[in-house]
Amino acid sequence: MGICATELRDFVIRPTLIHLGAHSLAAENLLMATAAQESGLGFHLSQNSGDHQGLGIYQINEVLHKDMWDSYLAFDPDLASTVRGIASQHDFLKQPHAELATNLTYSTAIAWLIYRRANVVLPKHYDIVALAQCWLNHYPTLQSNPNADQFTENYKLFIGPETGIAA
């Protein structure tokens, strides 16, 4: 059993997006669906795929995490400061990648920034098929043979009709 979808949305995803100045229902649904697809909404916090280990509810690997800091956040000091403020004070310095598994707010911020860095154009919040394509086109999943149908099914399974999304 993973994380309660409503609680993840209300206590983690929505506040994180608001904190980053990026809130929309489409962004919420995209992150909810990404967590459902990548980890079964938190059922797995660490998965291996070849040489890469995905961490947290979004299964972000260490290479991508480092690249987000080195190639993206390093060029936006205000955003970097905001994101660093979300991370743990001491643990981040000792084990920065562990934050992806242990700090839901931090991992949500990084997951959103992965989409933002890809200049994602969000579809309508209720269009799960378009959200699935958005994930497939812009999120660097570690899954072998990722597909939009599986994404849609995982949304239905783990999140359900709570947002009134038409599939």
Q: Are 42 and 159 in contact (CB under 8 A)?
A: no
Q: What is the pLDDT along the chain (167 residues), one digit of tens a residue?
A: 689 999 999 999 999 999 999 999 999 999 999 999 999 998 878 777 666 689 999 999 999 999 999 999 999 999 999 999 999 887 888 888 999 999 999 999 999 999 999 999 999 999 999 999 999 999 998 777 889 999 999 999 999 865 545 44
**Residue 14 confidence (pLDDT):** 98
Say how many domains are in the chain: 1
Please list, in sequence order, all residues whose beta carbon lies within 8 angstroms of the beta carbon of residue 37, skipping any fewer than 6 positions away: 135, 141, 143, 146, 150, 151, 154, 155
pTM of this prediction? 0.92
If residue 30 lies in a helix (H) or strand (E), which one and from where to where? helix 25-39
Q: What is the pLDDT of residue 167?
A: 44
Tokens matching residue 86? 């979300």
CA distances from 76 to 2, 69, 70, 113, 122 (A): 34, 10, 11, 12, 22
Where in the sequence is the domain holding 93, given as residue range(s)? 5-163
